[in-house]
A = this chain, B = another copy of it.
Amino acid sequence: MMSLTLVELANRSGVSSSHLGRIERGERFPSARILQRMAKPLGFEENELFALAGYLSASSPRLAEEGPSYIGGRLDPYVAKVLSQEPVDVQRAVIGILSLLKSIARGMTKE
Contacts and interface: CB of A to CB of B under 8 A. Distances in A.
Interface of A: 1, 24-26, 29, 31-33, 36, 43-48, 50-52, 55-57, 60-92, 94-95, 97-98
Contacts of A84: 68-70, 72-75
A73 B95 CA distance: 18
Contact of A83 (B26, B65, B79, B88): B79
B62 A63 contact: yes
Given A31-B32, A56-B36, A64 B65 contact: yes
A60 B47 contact: yes
B56 A76 contact: no
A52 B68 contact: yes
